Amino acid sequence: QGFKDNLHAVFCLAENAVGPRATRPDDIHVLYSGKTVEINNTDAEGRLVLADGVAYACKDLGADIILDMATLTGAQGIATGKYHAAVLTNNEEWEKACVKAGRNCGDLVHPLVYCPELHFSEFTSAVADMKNSVADRDNTPSSCAGLFIASHIGFDWPGVWVHIDIAAPVHAGERATGYGVALLLSLFGGASEDPLLNLVSPLGCNGDCPPEEMERDSKRRRLV
């Protein structure tokens, strides 16, 4: 789409296969951030590779905006429902932008509570920097799962961090919905050369473009 900025895609993948090197409860991992994690829930494995991914983006790629997107928690569907993904971010303007981008493109998003000073204590460990799963599952577990990822770049990191939990809206029955593609295109469309994406992006001109810009590519807009 003619994206104008420096863009990287980091795929944080793991195979849940049982073997002699499989993670066990009470194991302690040293993650790429250098922080240690006590495993108290082997089913909370996705956040381990995501934590390494954001740490890599920060340390090795020098990113100033990091967005991670994953089918992270079943609790997301309870918190924001089947049709809205959950967004957790350290930046209020980007939270608003995600919601607006979702409304513009149809991939709906709703904010989660971002409050690490109250919620990150759910991961307290006596033998490591943190555990990998919450102590209290009734205390906003989707927010906490996102905070686990953010902790590996640091809550004092000056860049923009956005976490989008898409566990529920990625499927309808046994079919995949393709959720997330339109959201990313809409959210970052202002940095592309595509006039349609410029129009729908909440971080671009978003309706305040000169008339000649809005007239360009009108056929494609009518089709949408």
List the CATH number of the domain containing 64. Answer: 3.40.630.10
Question: Residue 113 domain-assigned?
Answer: yes
Question: Residue 66 domain-assigned?
Answer: yes
Measured distance CA(218)–CA(224) in Å, rounded: 10
Q: What confidence category does residue 18 fall into, taking pLDDT thresholds of 50, 70 and 90?
A: confident
Measured distance CA(35)–CA(12) in Å, rounded: 18
Q: What is the pLDDT of residues 79-136, one digit of tens each?
A: 999 999 999 999 999 999 999 999 999 999 999 999 999 999 999 999 999 999 999 9
Question: Residue 174 domain-assigned?
Answer: yes
Question: Residue 9 domain-assigned?
Answer: no
Q: What is the pLDDT of residues 31-40, one digit of tens each?
A: 999 999 999 9
Q: In 3D, which of 43, 41, 63 has the Cα closest to residue 53?
A: 63
Based on the structure, what is the number of domains in the chain?
1
Domain extent at residue 151: 27-200
pLDDT of residue 204: 59
